[in-house]
A and B are shown apart, each in its own frame.
Chain A
């Protein structure tokens, strides 16, 4: 392996390439979620959503969702045209907009996304359709500004993160290095 960032491991669910084990902290699929507020499949919301509990979206949401200390799941029937700010975000349905998560974003294989993702850790299941950008730089200004205690609660779109200000320590790259012999 190449070096890992100090503050997190890498999770993938590609059966042929990477570990298929789901980390214990991954948001489970929406069908098994309990204790979350639910926006049902027949509900349509246009506006700003804020709160302090986990949310499962199975309906239509347009606008902004801010649950910065909680998890948001877009279920398989969810259709979201919004910017979402949360601690963790899981997508199983369709989304057009921006996702900003302080911890992680999980994109399930049924997801259809067009937009931007800003999160220090991102996991994608092969089969998901994604068109846009994934910013995994933990130093990006977009992440800092969205989750800074001094920042305004309104949040900002994170599609153009600025250059980060701080560097992280360098680790050795010797582990896992391989020779290129035998290929010519």
Chain B
């Protein structure tokens, strides 16, 4: 669970670490963070030639609660993700978002995001997998300088977690090819997807 990592050494997420280390320092990168602006993310990426786009979708997710009409949900998510002038994106951080979305919403997010990405762009996600419960609202993952992730603002209330399997996610996001998946020590599953050609 996320709380277990809120103190101490943080969460080692090898795929995230690998992703960050793999960013070429000689080239400009555009990173899209679906979460809120956090000091650690900015500090980590400031070491690269980087543009960071911050969506802060957790704020907008509250609007989804109680919105049952699929078309309205779809329109809201599409509006959240719309960015006609966005510079094409190399990397997407989608850390907590998918845990809090219905399957149809994940399809919408994948559809809306994929045209905004560069060929071969990657999407990094953390999925509640082993634990049947998760914080009732999305907290934040904050990386440190070594790309370890620290939990911040974890909701003490809990709700059942969707526990999306890799196969389920692949079906919901056909635009993305799973590159690597790892089960982390705290029961989260770490996913690295690559945009299909």
Contact = CB atoms under 8 A, between A and B. Distances in A.
B171 to A, nearest CB: 24
B134 to A, nearest CB: 19
A86 B85 CA distance: 25
A180 interface: yes
A110 B12 CA distance: 31
Contacts, number: 142
Contacts of B14: 180, 183
Nearest to B41: A124
Interface string A168-184: 10110100111010111
Contact of A10 (B37, B87, B145): B145
B87 A161 contact: yes
Interface stretch (B17-25, B66-74, B123-131): B17-25
B157 interface: no
Given A17-B142, A122-B46, A184-B183, 5 more contacts: A5-B46, A14-B43, A134-B52, A134-B54, A183-B184
Interface of B: 12, 14, 17-18, 20-21, 25-28, 36-40, 42-56, 85-87, 142-147, 150, 152, 182-185
Interface of A: 1-5, 10-14, 16-18, 107, 121-126, 128-140, 159-161, 163-164, 167-168, 170-171, 173, 176-178, 180, 182-184
